[in-house]
Structure 1
Amino acid sequence: MKKAVLALLAVALTPAVFAQFPQRPPTPNDTLKSIQQLTDGRVKFSLYAPKASEVTVSGDFPNGFPPAKLQKDGAGVWSFTTASAVAPNVYTYDFNVDGLKVFDPKNAQYKESNNGFSNVFEIKGPENEFQTLKDVPHGKIEKVYYKSSALEGITRRLHVYLPPNYDEISRSQKLPVLYLLHGGGDNDASWTTVGRANLILDNLYAQGKLKPMIVVMPAGHTPVQGFFMGAGDRQDPFCRDMVQDVIPFIEKTYPVSSKREHRAIAGLSMGGIQTINLALWHPDLFAQVFPMSTGYFPNTIAEIKEKYGEVMRNKTINTFKDFRIYMGGEADIAYKNNLNMMAMFDEYGIKYNYQNGGGAHTFLAWRSHLLDLAPRLFR
Structure 2
Amino acid sequence: MKKLTFTFFTLAVTTAVFAQFPQRTPTPNDTLQSVRQLADGKVKLSIYAPKASEVTVSGDFPNGFPAAKLQKDEVGVWSFTTATRVSPNVYTYDFNVDGLKVFDPKNAQYKESNSGVSNLFEVKGPENDFQTLKDVPHGKIEKVLYKSTALEGASRRLHVYLPPNYDEISKKEKLPVLYLFHGGGDNDASWTTIGRANLILDNLYAQGKLKPMIVVMPAGHTHIQGFFMGAGAQQDPFCRDMVQDVIPFVEKTYPVSNKREHRAIAGLSMGGIQAINLALWHPDLFSQVFPMSTGYFPNAIAEIKEKYGEVMRNKTINSFKNFKIYMGGEADIAYQNNLNMMKMFDEFGIKYTYENGGGAHTFLAWRQNLKDFAPLLFK
Shorter-normalised TM range: over 0.9
Q: Deviations over 1:157-205 (max 9, x none)?
A: 0100000000000001000000000000000000000000000000000
Partner of 2:182: 182
The offset of 1:3, in angstroms, is 2.4
Give the partner amino acid of 2:7.
Answer: L
Partner of 2:375: 375
Measure, in 1, the Cα distance between the counterparts of 2:267 and 2:14: 60
Measure, in 2, the Cα distance between the counterparts of 1:106 and 1:239: 39
Q: Deviations over 1:120-154 (max 9, x none)?
A: 00000000000000011100000000000000001
Alignment gaps of 5+ in structure 2: none
Partner of 2:218: 218
Measure, in 2, the Cα distance between the counterparts of 1:156 and 1:13: 50
The offset of 1:235, in angstroms, is 0.5
Question: Equivalent residue of 2:280, what SS?
Answer: helix
The offset of 1:24, in angstroms, is 2.0
Measure, in 1, the Cα distance between the counterparts of 2:249 and 2:206: 29
Give the partner amino acid of 1:150.
Answer: A
Give the partner amino acid of 2:175.
Answer: L
1:146 aligns to 2:146 (yes or no): yes
Partner of 1:3: 4
Partner of 1:245: 245
Question: Equivalent residue of 1:64, what SS?
Answer: coil
The offset of 1:22, in angstroms, is 3.2
Partner of 2:21: 21
1:40 aligns to 2:40 (yes or no): yes
Measure, in 2, the Cα distance between the counterparts of 1:320 and 1:145: 31
TM-score, length-normalised on structure 2? 0.99
Measure, in 2, the Cα distance between the counterparts of 1:17 and 1:264: 60
Alignment gaps of 5+ in structure 1: none
1:115 aligns to 2:95 (yes or no): no
The offset of 1:74, in angstroms, is 1.2
Q: Deviations over 1:317-340 (max 9, x none)?
A: 000000000000111000110000
Identity %: 83
Give the partner amino acid of 2:181.
Answer: L
Measure, in 2, the Cα distance between the counterparts of 1:311 and 1:115: 35
The offset of 1:13, in angstroms, is 2.8
Give the partner amino acid of 2:180.
Answer: L
Partner of 2:13: 12
The offset of 1:349, in angstroms, is 0.3
Question: Equivalent residue of 1:242, what SS?
Answer: helix
Alignment of 1:1-379 (within 5 A): 1-14=2-15, 16-379=16-379
Measure, in 2, the Cα distance between the counterparts of 1:240 and 1:266: 16
Measure, in 2, the Cα distance between the counterparts of 1:22 and 1:358: 54
Give the partner amino acid of 1:166.
Answer: Y
Q: Deviations over 1:188-228 (max 9, x none)?
A: 00000000000000000011100000000000000000000
Measure, in 2, the Cα distance between the counterparts of 1:48 and 1:306: 57
TM-score, length-normalised on structure 1? 0.99
Give the partner amino acid of 1:6.
Answer: T
Question: Equivalent residue of 1:171, what SS?
Answer: helix
Measure, in 2, the Cα distance between the counterparts of 1:358 and 1:187: 23
The offset of 1:73, in angstroms, is 1.0
The offset of 1:9, in angstroms, is 2.2
The offset of 1:19, in angstroms, is 1.6
Measure, in 1, the Cα distance between the counterparts of 2:97 and 2:156: 34
Question: Equivalent residue of 1:266, what SS?
Answer: strand
Question: Equivalent residue of 1:13, what SS?
Answer: helix
Question: Equivalent residue of 2:20, what SS?
Answer: coil
Measure, in 2, the Cα distance between the counterparts of 1:143 and 1:56: 34
The offset of 1:11, in angstroms, is 1.7
Q: In angstroms, what is the RMSD of aligned CA positions?
A: 0.7
Aligned length: 378
The offset of 1:6, in angstroms, is 1.9
Measure, in 1, the Cα distance between the counterparts of 2:17 and 2:291: 62
